[in-house]
Amino acid sequence: MTFSAAVCVELLKALSPEAQAIVTSDARRLLVIAGAGAGKTEAMARRIAWWHARDGIPKDQIVAFTFTEQAAEEMKFRIRKYIQVVETPGTDPSLGGMYVGTIHGFCLETLRKLWPDEYHNDDVVDDVARYSLVQEGYTYLLGLEALEKALQAESGKPYSSRGRTIEYFLQAYDLLNEYDRLDVELPSEPRPDIGAEQEWCKQARLLTETGEGAVTEAFARSAARYYAYLRCRHFLDFSTAQSELTRRLRADDAALARLRTSITHLVVDEVQDINPVQDGIRRMLVDDQDGWLTAVGDHRQAIYGWRGGRIDIMADLAAELTADEDGDVLDLTRNYRSTPRIIDISNRWNATINVPGTMSSPDMSHGRVGRVDADAQHIGVVDFNGDRADEAEWIAATVKELVPSHSLGAVHDTPDGERGITYSDVAVLVRSSTDARTYLQALRDAGIPAVVKAGPDLFAQPEILLFAAALSLSGGRDTFMGADWNKRSLPSRLRDVLGITDADRPGAAERAIRAAFNTLAGEGLTIAPGSADRVIRAARGMEARLAGIPVNRADIAVLSTPELRKWLSGRDPVRRVFPQTMLQWLMSEAGVSAWDTQHDRAVAAMYHLGQLSSLVTGIETPGWTRAKSYRHQITSLLLWGTESARPQEAPLLATPDAVTVTTIHSVKGLQYAAVFVADVCSSRFPSKNAKQAPKLPFRDPLAQVIDPTSLADNANNDDERRLMYVAITRAERFLYVSASKPSKFFKELKGIVKDAGSHVWDSTGSVPQAIPSLRPIASERSREDRLITSFSDLRYYLECPHDFYLRKVLGFTPTIDQAFGYGRGVHNLMRAVHTDPARWAELAADPVALRQAVQELIDRGLFYLRHTTGEPAENMRRRGVEIVTDYVQTYVDELRRLTFEPEREFEVLVPGEDVLVSGAIDVVRLDSPPQVTIIDFKSGERETDKHDALDEDEMKLQVSLYAVAARQELEYEPERGLVRYLGERDPSRRELNVPLDQQTIDDSLATVKTLAGGIQRRQFRSGPHKPDKNGGHRCITCDWSRICGLSRNSSTA
Query: Is 41 within any annotated ligand binding site?
Result: yes
Q: Which 3 state secondary structure label does DSSP give 340?
A: helix
- Which residues of 482-577 form beta strands (DSSP E)? none
Phi, psi (deg, nearest 5) at residue 653: -110, 175
Q: What is the DSSP letter of 95?
A: -
DSSP state of 461: S
CA distance 533 to 565: 15
Distance CA 258, CA 260 (A): 6
Pairing of strands 759-761, 776-778: unpaired
DSSP state of 681: B
Q: CA–CA separation, 551 vs 541, rounded Å?
A: 6
Q: What is the dihedral of CA 884, 888, 889, 891, to 10 degrees?
A: 130
Count of positions (residues) in the chain: 1053
- Answer whether 83's CB lies under 8 Å from 94's CB: yes
Tell me if 410 is assigned to a ligand binding site. no
How many Å apart are CA 828 and CA 903, to the nearest integer? 9
Residues 932, 952: Cα–Cα separation, whole Å:
21
475 labeled binding residue: no
What DSSP state is assigned to residue 706?
S
CA distances in angstroms from 920 to 963, 968, 970, listed in the order given = 11, 14, 12
Is 76 annotated in a binding site? The answer is no
CA distances (Å), origin 67, targets 105, 271, 352, 968: 11, 9, 26, 27
DSSP state of 691: T
Cis peptide before 902 (omega within 30 of 0): no
H/E segment holding residue 673: strand 672-677
Q: How many whole angstroms separate alpha carbon 380 and alpha carbon 390?
A: 16
Residue 266 near residue 291 (C-beta atoms within 8 A): yes
In the DSSP assignment, the letter for residue 496 is I
Beta strand spans in 683-790 (E): 731-739, 759-761, 776-778, 787-790
Beta strands in 800-945 (DSSP E): 899-909, 915-928, 931-938
Alpha-carbon gap, residue 881 to 851, rounded angstroms: 6
For residue 686, cis peptide bond before it (omega within 30 degrees of 0)? yes
Query: Among 1050, 648, 576, which Cα is nearest to 815's?
Result: 576
Establish whether 37 is an annotated binding residue: yes
DSSP output for 908-950? EE-TTSSEEEEEEEEEEEEEETTEEEEEEEESS-TTT-GGGGS
- For residue 36, say whether it is annotated as part of any ligand binding site: yes
Three-state DSSP at 31 gives: strand
Number of helices (H) and strands (E) in the chain: give both, helices first.
40, 28
Rounded to the nearest angstrom, the gap between the alpha carbon of residue 949 and the centroid of all alpha carbons in its chain is: 29
Q: How far apart are CA 850 and CA 843, in angstroms?
A: 5
Tell me if 773 sits within 8 A of 369, measured CB to CB: no
Which segments are annotated as binding site for ATP?
Answer: 34-41
Which segments are annotated as binding site?
Answer: 34-41
